[in-house]
Structure 1
Amino acid sequence: MIHGTHNAVQDERNNNVLISINGELFHRNDAKISVFDSGYLVGDGVWEAFRVHHGKMIFVDDHLSRLWQSAKVIGIHIPFSKEELMAQIQQTLDANQMKDYIHVRVMLTRGIKKTPSQDPRLTISGPNVVIIAEHKQASTETKNKGVTLFTSTYRRGSPDYLDPRLNCHSKLHEVQALIQAIEAGADEALMLDIHGFVSTCNATNFFMVKGDEVWTSTGAYCMNGITRGKVIELCERKGIVCHQKNFSLFDVYGADEAFVTGTFGGLTPVTKIDGKPIGTKTPGDITAELSNLYAQLVSQQFN
């Protein structure tokens, strides 16, 4: 069985979900997009994913702000407002009668190309917007068991050629890193930056605990995850020292605790890195405390 931070409880309702394509709803088996779509042809697009609990879109403002910023960075003009997109998302949720334990992925591509090409001037349509909402409850087994990491030889890139903060459709180097980790017998990949410092994981952000301090990367070479930001804010609010700094595997192997953060799984403990045990229990005390604080922060969104 696949084990990782995106493990979800199986839900048969997902077999019949309706998916929104440019505002029109289709059964998942009939949800199609052209092979001339720029996202399919050259990975030319951006996306966001967020949770829905008790009918509320969790931290949706943060996610849509990042989507608009990412689109601007790659020169996609979004011809609708955030409010109009939220209405489309709500339409999708309502059509599927979705209220709780929902995962929503919004994908925005440059549009349909006249011919296979990188050239954005050959785009002959407006942006394509796909909204996939699924019933997804994170597996408690993953939280209880934790995940293992393997340090990949694939590095997080420099901002001057593909900024790691850009949530774009091209995730090939993260896929390659994950394949390396899986082949090494780990669940997911730890990735270093171009200087050899610890940056992030292939699909989540990495944190470790040294004594009573929390350490994470500078954020210069990783996706600045929404959950990552919330955990940093929680540390500041609760008086937990949180360093955003450069550190190496030398420091990581001696960590007292480690965990990863992501929209779907929240905080997930890390039990081994490159075969070396981390900590003495799962989760560690600070990981458990921050996980509970994060759960409270999420619950405040729908109270």
Structure 2
Amino acid sequence: MEKAEKIWINGEVVPWDDATVHLVSNTLHYGFGVFEGIRCYKTDTGPAVFRLREHMVRLARSAEILGFSLPYTLDELVEGTREVIRANGFEQCYIRPLAYVGEGGMGLSYEDCPVSVAIAVWFWGEYVGKGTLENGSRARVSTYARHHINTNMSKAKACGNYMLFQMARTEARRDGYDEALLLDSNGHVAEGSVEHIFLVRDGALVTPPLTHLLDGITRNTVIVLARELGLEVREELFSRDHVLTSDEAFFVGTGAEVTPLVELDRRPIGSGKPGPVTKQIQEAYFTTVYGRSNRHADWLTYV
């Protein structure tokens, strides 16, 4: 990531280096907070944030799941996002809203602690790894299992949940892979460290159901676009060997966008190269987010 100049905190745009949190902070100590990941794209008619309102709705719902409310309306958060992008002069950037308890709550109780909201922006290129959008990524099955449905609030994009994903991704990177693939507690394929996974089998797309997974906005986008292309999309449970015997596979997420997965545990998937269906989905996705088609113009919020 590249450092920006300004950050939006509690309704004010402040210098990056002045955006601080006290050491005695519930969120810092216990991971109690919620966040979002959003992208702004450079279009022919100016910077545009992709599905901004849907992301802010999910942020509010994540807070509700954890038991608190955001101190700002959706309209205020949308405008705060546009304001901080303009303040930094970005044409394209990654956006990180964060709702957190900035001070107090050391006894685990947070009820009397004020909730703060920050919106940071920075430049972030290919998340999974340089060149992976074009050439594909390599993953390993993680030694860590995806949270059981009753272990954590899996529908909340909660800060504390991501310690697991951070450990899984670090393990994969240390072993020479781009990404981790996590199984659930029953051995079914769940997701990447921060991405949903799709398989291509006999021309159809197959992805795990959302039973204990975050309701991915990029996942939803890909499903909509795929069906518009005439592709069948199925939600099914499947095991790791189902991945190895697929024709193609790819990860999706705000950071990953649509990243081909060409190898799992040093074994090629399909031809071992990004396949034609994956490339078709990639093209439809980037056509949409860069505003090259008016079909989903309502998904873009111009800055």
Aligned partner of 2:25 in structure 1 is 37
**Which amino acid in 2 is paired with 1:232?**
I
Give SS of 2:144's match: coil
In 2, Cα distance between equivalents of 1:294 and 1:109: 32
Q: Residues 137 and 185 of structure 1: is their aligned pair in 2 closer, same or farther, counting only changes over 3 Å? A: closer
TM-score by length of structure 1 reads 0.88
Aligned partner of 2:57 in structure 1 is 65
Aligned partner of 1:25 in structure 2 is 13
Residue correspondence of structure 1 range 139-150 to structure 2 within 5 A: 141-150=131-140
Q: 2:214 aligns with which of 210, 216, 223?
A: 223
Tell me the percent identity: 26
**Which amino acid in 1 is paired with 2:164?**
H
Tell me if 1:181 matches 2:181. no
Aligned partner of 1:293 in structure 2 is 284
**Which amino acid in 1 is paired with 2:70?**
I
What runs of 5+ residues in structure 2 fail to find an aligned partner? none
In 2, Cα distance between equivalents of 1:281 and 1:275: 10
Aligned partner of 1:278 in structure 2 is 269
Asked whether the equivalents of residues 17 and 133 of structure 1 are also in contact (C-alpha less than 8 Å), the reply is: no
In 2, Cα distance between equivalents of 1:176 and 1:140: 21
| CA displacement, residues 23-80 of structure 1 (integer Å, 9 cap, x when unaligned) | 2333223321112222212111100111112322210121111111111111112222
Bigger mean CA deviation after superposition, 187-196 or 16-25: 16-25
Bigger mean CA deviation after superposition, 131-140 or 271-280: 131-140
**Which amino acid in 2 is paired with 1:236?**
R
Q: Residues 47 and 292 of structure 1: is their aligned pair in 2 closer, same or farther, counting only changes over 3 Å? A: same
Asked whether the equivalents of residues 199 and 219 of structure 1 are also in contact (C-alpha less than 8 Å), the reply is: no
| C-alpha deviation, 1:111, in angstroms | 4.2
| CA displacement, residues 104-144 of structure 1 (integer Å, 9 cap, x when unaligned) | 10000144215x231123x43x2111111113344772212
| C-alpha deviation, 1:15, in angstroms | 3.8
In 1, Cα distance between equivalents of 2:47 and 2:235: 34
**Which amino acid in 1 is paired with 2:186?**
H
Asked whether the equivalents of residues 201 and 247 of structure 2 are also in contact (C-alpha less than 8 Å), the reply is: yes
**How many residues matched?**
287
Q: 1:246 aligns with which of 237, 246, 255?
A: 237
Aligned partner of 1:119 in structure 2 is 109
Aligned partner of 2:158 in structure 1 is 168
Aligned partner of 2:77 in structure 1 is 85
Q: 1:76 aligns with which of 54, 68, 74?
A: 68
**Which amino acid in 2 is paired with 1:107?**
L
In 2, Cα distance between equivalents of 1:32 and 1:95: 19
Aligned partner of 1:133 in structure 2 is 121
Aligned partner of 2:258 in structure 1 is 267
CA RMSD of aligned residues (A): 1.9
In 1, Cα distance between equivalents of 2:72 and 2:216: 24
**Which amino acid in 2 is paired with 1:243?**
R
Aligned partner of 1:200 in structure 2 is 191
| C-alpha deviation, 1:178, in angstroms | 1.4
Tell me if 1:212 matches 2:199. no
Tell me if 1:159 matches 2:152. no
Bigger mean CA deviation after superposition, 181-190 or 21-30: 21-30
TM-score by length of structure 2 reads 0.88
**Which amino acid in 2 is paired with 1:277?**
P
| CA displacement, residues 161-202 of structure 1 (integer Å, 9 cap, x when unaligned) | 213332101111111211221233211100011111101011
Q: Residues 250 and 140 of structure 1: is their aligned pair in 2 closer, same or farther, counting only changes over 3 Å? A: closer
| C-alpha deviation, 1:219, in angstroms | 1.6
